């Protein structure tokens, strides 16, 4: 596998991990924009815009975009997070140029008024769909608490009210401020000839405008509180807890990931043995979340309402024990094997590598081989773990509980 | 597409399948044991699933912690599930860990501890899973659709109910294991970077003396009514629609699959275009071919807010019915491109190939080389598909709705309470 990179005159970066032995290739436009770049009047616009990119361009109707993506047999999709919007497609190498032609065209969408109103209904249905899933609302609430008035507190989807209030003109304005060529990266992986890849991009992307689309990445101060949400349709009880964690730039992020595996992976972790294996909870876990300038750990619990208090004490007991006594060498060894094997298995599919190298580049402007990625985790020591929990105390947290309505 | 596919049957009936993919660093296995939930007595629903959980609580010389730790040290990413026909155990791992992992699974299948002192933990977990289903509305609706689409026990779901799970005992698990964990009807498939001869010799060593038992037939009961409404105070109404399709070994199988593909495969498929893109009625709408050994059905799903549910059902049904008027050359060309791409991409996944080998053997009693599937896709012709859909229009619908109100339909399916 060979990594290559270049930057077009307008600032569009192009990176690729070329693997001549792959059967397929994957490409994607990774855009440094997401819900943290919205103000309250634009809540939900990044995700809505991601949908609108599929609704046509000056030369393609919405039906053309969908039809052409299917004609090249691609598996294409997109997602929006707090910090990124990613448009991606996996395909056979012979379709690469057509794939880039469609995806790059989608990056200059028409944002037509009638498409905007139809798609608004789809987004409202998406929100209604999640609203019927009882944990929904807990993640949004804990982000609101933890990040206070920082823009990371705003949900990616938006609310029914905020999405209803959005106009096509507001979206066009947002697009003009965020989709600068220099705020985007074209990423490729798998069977790709890099020189050809760059030529294809040059023919299609050189006219894109460049302007400042930087964001404030200062560490957001953390806030702590407890909150309860009553949900009519819930039968189980759900708890989510947040505490501060390493940002995307901080070296402790490797230790944070190992720590989360040891405390809350879905198999073989402390939470697994004490809550799942023992039949106390349906699920329980922990994961690190990194953003530019800030980060957090989230832990989750789902169980019968009558057992929730006791189970939460067990979760907090696990966390307290790690905070005070650290983890064991044996646990660290197990987590290393697990993560290194995971890294190797992911490396076999161009689509998985696309996410890895694209996200790495957006967050840190770095490329990591599979081995370097595995080594980052393999080198985490017990001391690193101890330092990480000292810097980011796991027991200083917020708690949101979703309870069945009485 | 040159492939090295191997198969071998042990004297006790265990079928071993292999596909070497030497360009990968991983290997994956799928182990299907003829202990699916259709083997449960009606009052013991959920037993197959509970048994798979108990099986992983220690085996051979390992207790449950040692079992999990050893697999994790080998880098094996494993899973289990209780399906209609089989209880399945599968995993993918760095190639060098295959043989040690299989040795652990031989202990699991043949020498599980089934520890009585952990039975209550296992049972509580399964009861939580059953209760958790109540919070998963799309799944609830689709479970009800399956229950109405196939005769019992084929229409069951594997989780069981709080009552049935509460009635189970350690002895029920032991009896289920003794009766159904056996080599006759079992399939072990391996794909990835491995040596076939070495695999066969290990399998012979681990499973050669495993005793076969007779497999009993399964008694079917009559299907129940074909419209069910589950009242619920949810934001969205969940809609499930099914209709019968030809099984995998039928001569018209590829024609039938192509028709479902035109309906739902890809972003330019008919359901996505008409229900979501043109009308904005749904975020999720889909149709999928669902196969049992000797029968199959097309299962459709849509979720939409209650005030738009009637229109969503009407448009979805109308698109399904319009299929009988035929598909276009363009639709078929797009479908072929998508199917071929998905097929070629399987070569990048040992996990996908091992599952595919085992599935082929179960449904067809042989493994189709990818070239054969590729030729079948190339050979699909519009006029043949159109003849097929004209002669076999979607009919005998089953409909389930979950939400505020029951819905009317134009296909003559009458209501009763679920």
pLDDT tens profile B11-35: 999 999 999 999 999 999 999 999 9
CA distance B4 to chain A (A): 17
Set out the domains of chain B in order of their start, with CATH numbers.
Answer: 4-207 (3.30.830.10), 227-417 (3.30.830.10)
B233 touches chain A (CB under 8 A): yes
Burial of residue A197, with CB atoms counted within 10 A of its CB: 0-12 exposed, 13-18 middle, 19 or more buried: buried
CA distance A83 to chain B (A): 23
Q: Would you call A304 and B131 a contact, using CB atoms and an 8 Å cutoff?
A: yes
Query: What is the distance of C-alpha A92 from the center of its chain?
Result: 26
On chain A, the residues whose CB falls within 8 A of the CB of B279 are 118
- Closest C-alpha to A296, from A246, A340, A230, A363: A246
Give the pLDDT confidence score for residue B417 in this predicted structure: 46
Q: Return the residue of B nearest to A307 by Cα.
A: B128
B286 touches chain A (CB under 8 A): no
Q: Which residues of chain A have pLDDT under 70?
A: none
CA distance B394 to chain A (A): 25
Give the other-Cβ count within 10 Å of A323's Cβ. 16
On chain A, the residues whose CB falls within 8 A of the CB of B113 are none
On chain B, the residues whose CB falls within 8 A of the CB of A54 are 267
ipTM of the modeled complex: 0.92
Interface of B with A in 202-221 (CB under 8 A): none
Judge whether A65 and A57 are in contact, CB under 8 Å: yes
Interface test with B, best of A20, A23, A51, A70 (most B CBs within 10 A): A70
- Triad A355, A56, B266: Cα angle to 5°: 60
Distance CA B352, CA B42 (A): 33
Which helix (DSSP H) or strand (DSSP E) does residue B320 occupy?
A: helix B309-322
Interface of B with A in 96-115 (CB under 8 A): 97
Report how far apart, in Å, the C-alpha atoms of B58 and of each of B49, B109, B170, B303, B347 are. Answer: 16, 11, 15, 42, 34
On chain B, the residues whose CB falls within 8 A of the CB of A133 are 135-137
CA distance B212 to chain A (A): 32
Give the pLDDT confidence score for residue B1 in this predicted structure: 64
Which residue among B232, B269, B345 places its CB closest to the CB of A24? B345
* Residue A89 bridge partners (DSSP): A27, A76
- Closest C-alpha to A215, from A361, A360, A10, A36: A36
CA distance A70 to chain B (A): 6
CA distance A341 to chain B (A): 5
Q: Would you call A91 and B348 a contact, using CB atoms and an 8 Å cutoff?
A: no
Which helix (DSSP H) or strand (DSSP E) does residue A79 occupy?
A: strand A75-80
On chain B, the residues whose CB falls within 8 A of the CB of A74 are 338, 341
Q: Each residue's pLDDT tens digit in chain B (418 positions)? A: 678 999 999 999 999 999 999 999 999 999 999 999 999 999 999 999 999 999 999 999 999 999 999 999 999 999 999 999 999 999 999 999 999 999 999 999 999 999 999 999 999 999 999 999 999 999 999 999 999 999 999 999 999 999 999 999 999 999 999 999 999 999 999 999 999 999 999 999 999 999 999 888 898 987 777 899 999 999 999 999 999 999 999 999 999 999 999 999 999 999 999 999 999 999 999 999 999 999 999 999 999 999 999 999 999 999 999 999 999 999 999 999 999 999 999 999 999 999 999 999 999 999 999 999 999 999 999 999 999 999 999 999 999 999 999 999 988 887 654 4
Six-digit token pair at A158? 């938006």
B340 touches chain A (CB under 8 A): yes
Pairing of strands B227-231, B398-403: parallel
- Closest C-alpha to B336, from A88, A191, A70, A101: A70
According to the 3-state scheme, what is the secondary structure of B158-220? CCCCHHHHHCCCHHHHHHHHHHHCCCCCCEEEEEECCCHHHHHHHHHHHHCCCCCCCCCCCCC
* Residue B290 bridge partners (DSSP): B297
Q: Would you call B345 and A90 a contact, using CB atoms and an 8 Å cutoff?
A: yes
Report how far apart, in Å, the C-alpha atoms of B385 and of each of B242, B326, B373 are. Answer: 20, 8, 17
Q: Return the residue of A nearest to B339 by Cα.
A: A73
B303 touches chain A (CB under 8 A): yes
Interface of B with A in 116-135 (CB under 8 A): 120-125, 127-129, 131-132, 134-135
Set out the domains of chain A in order of their start, with CATH numbers.
Answer: 2-205 (3.30.830.10), 226-404 (3.30.830.10)
Q: Would you call B344 and A333 a contact, using CB atoms and an 8 Å cutoff?
A: no
Q: Would you call B125 and A282 a contact, using CB atoms and an 8 Å cutoff?
A: yes
Interface test with A, best of B235, B285, B329, B349 (most A CBs within 10 A): B235
Distance CA A294, CA A252 (A): 12
Interface of B with A in 139-168 (CB under 8 A): none
Distance CA A45, CA A3 (A): 34
Phi, psi of B62 (to 5 degrees): -105, 135
Distance CA B137, CA B296 (A): 24
CA distance B273 to chain A (A): 8
Q: Would you call A125 and B68 a contact, using CB atoms and an 8 Å cutoff?
A: no
User: How is residue A3 annotated by DSSP?
Assistant: E
Q: Return the residue of B nearest to A26 by Cα.
A: B345
Tokens 């989510």 found at: A240
On chain B, the residues whose CB falls within 8 A of the CB of A350 are 348
Q: Would you call A132 and B267 a contact, using CB atoms and an 8 Å cutoff?
A: no
On chain A, the residues whose CB falls within 8 A of the CB of B345 are 23-24, 90, 349
On chain A, the residues whose CB falls within 8 A of the CB of B273 are 63, 66
Interface of B with A in 366-395 (CB under 8 A): none
Q: Would you call B131 and A69 a contact, using CB atoms and an 8 Å cutoff?
A: no
Which residue among A279, A330, A337 places its CB closest to the CB of B123? A279
Q: Would you call A268 and B69 a contact, using CB atoms and an 8 Å cutoff?
A: yes
Query: What is the distance of C-alpha B184 from the center of its chain?
Result: 21
What sign results for the dihedral spanned by CA atoms B312, B314, B316, B319? negative
Give the pLDDT confidence score for residue B399 in this predicted structure: 97
């Amino acid at each position: 596998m060979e990594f290559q990179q270049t930057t077009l005159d307008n600032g569009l970066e192009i990176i690729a991990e070329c693997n001549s032995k792959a059967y397929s290739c994957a490409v994607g436009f990774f855009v440094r924009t997401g819900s943290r770049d919205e103000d309250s009047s634009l809540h939900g616009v990044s995700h809505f815009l991601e949908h609108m990119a599929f609704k046509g361009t000056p030369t393609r109707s919405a039906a053309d975009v969908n039809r052409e993506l299917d004609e090249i047999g691609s598996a294409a999709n997109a997602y929006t997070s707090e910090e990124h919007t990613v448009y991606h497609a996996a395909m056979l190498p012979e379709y690469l140029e057509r794939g880039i032609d469609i995806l790059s065209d989608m990056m200059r969408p028409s944002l037509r008024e009638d498409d905007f109103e139809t798609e608004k209904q789809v987004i409202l249905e998406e929100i209604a769909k999640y609203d019927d899933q009882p944990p929904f609302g807990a993640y949004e609430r804990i982000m609101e608490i933890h990040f206070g008035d920082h823009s990371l507190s705003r949900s990616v989807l938006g609310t029914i009210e905020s999405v209803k209030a959005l106009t096509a003109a507001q979206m066009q304005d947002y697009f003009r401020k965020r989709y600068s060529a220099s705020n985007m990266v074209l990423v490729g992986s798998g069977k790709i000839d890099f020189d050809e890849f760059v030529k294809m991009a040059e023919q299609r992307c050189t006219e894109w405008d460049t302007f400042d689309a930087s964001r404030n990445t200062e560490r957001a101060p953390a806030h702590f509180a407890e909150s309860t949400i009553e949900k009519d349709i819930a039968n189980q009880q759900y708890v989510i807890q947040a505490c501060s964690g390493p940002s995307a730039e901080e070296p402790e992020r490797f230790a944070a990931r190992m720590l989360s595996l040891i405390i809350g992976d879905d198999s073989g972790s402390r939470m697994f043995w004490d809550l799942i294996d023992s039949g106390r909870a349906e699920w329980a876990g922990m994961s690190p979340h990194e953003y530019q300038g800030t980060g957090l750990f989230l832990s989750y619990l789902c169980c019968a309402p009558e057992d929730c208090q006791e189970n939460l004490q067990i979760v907090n007991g696990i966390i307290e024990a790690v905070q005070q006594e650290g983890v064991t060498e044996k646990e660290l060894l197990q987590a290393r094997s697990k993560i290194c094997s995971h890294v190797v298995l992911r490396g076999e599919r161009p689509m998985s590598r696309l996410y890895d190298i694209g996200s790495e580049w957006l967050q840190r402007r770095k490329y990591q081989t599979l081995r370097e990625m595995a080594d980052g985790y393999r080198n985490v020591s017990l001391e690193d773990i101890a330092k990480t929990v000292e810097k980011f105390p796991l027991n200083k947290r917020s708690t949101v509980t979703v309870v069945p309505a009485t | 597409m040159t492939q090295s596919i191997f198969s071998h049957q042990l004297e006790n009936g265990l079928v071993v399948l292999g596909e070497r993919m030497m360009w990968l660093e991983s290997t994956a296995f799928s182990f299907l044991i003829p202990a699916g939930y259709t083997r449960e007595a009606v009052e013991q629903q959920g037993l197959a699933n509970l048994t798979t959980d108990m099986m992983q609580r220690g085996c051979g010389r390992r207790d449950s912690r040692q079992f999990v730790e050893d697999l994790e040290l080998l880098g094996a990413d494993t899973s289990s599930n209780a399906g209609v026909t089989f209880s399945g155990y599968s995993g993918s791992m760095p190639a060098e860990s295959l043989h040690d992992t299989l040795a652990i699974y031989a202990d699991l299948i043949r020498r599980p501890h089934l520890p009585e002192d952990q039975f209550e933990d296992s049972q509580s977990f399964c009861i939580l899973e059953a209760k958790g289903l109540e919070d998963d509305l799309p799944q609830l609706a689709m479970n009800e659709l399956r229950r109405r689409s196939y005769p019992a026990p084929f229409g069951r779901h594997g989780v069981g109910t709080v009552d049935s799970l509460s009635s189970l005992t350690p002895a029920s698990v032991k009896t289920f294991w003794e009766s159904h964990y056996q080599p006759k009807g079992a399939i072990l498939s391996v794909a990835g970077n491995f040596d076939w001869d070495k695999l066969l010799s290990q399998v012979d060593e681990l499973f050669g003396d495993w005793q076969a038992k007779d497999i009993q037939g399964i008694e079917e009961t009559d299907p129940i009514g074909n419209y069910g409404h589950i009242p619920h105070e949810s934001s969205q109404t969940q809609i499930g629609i099914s209709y019968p399709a030809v099984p995998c070994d039928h001569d018209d199988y590829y024609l039938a699959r192509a028709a479902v593909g035109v309906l739902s495969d890809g972003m330019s498929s008919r359901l996505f275009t008409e229900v979501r893109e043109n009308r904005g009625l749904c975020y999720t709408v889909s149709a999928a071919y669902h196969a049992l050994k000797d029968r199959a059905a097309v299962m459709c799903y849509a979720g939409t807010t209650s005030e738009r549910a009637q229109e969503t059902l009407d448009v979805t049904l109308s698109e399904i019915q319009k299929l009988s008027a035929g598909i276009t050359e363009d639709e078929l060309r797009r479908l072929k491109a998508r199917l071929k791409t998905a097929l070629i991409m399987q070569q990048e996944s040992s996990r996908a190939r091992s599952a595919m080998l085992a599935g082929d053997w179960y449904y067809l009693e042989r493994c189709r080389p990818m070239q054969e599937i590729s030729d079948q896709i190339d050979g699909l012709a519009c006029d043949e598909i159109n003849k097929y859909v004209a002669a076999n229009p979607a009919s005998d619908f089953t409909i389930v709705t979950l939400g505020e109100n029951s819905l009317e339909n134009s296909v003559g399916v009458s209501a009763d309470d679920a």
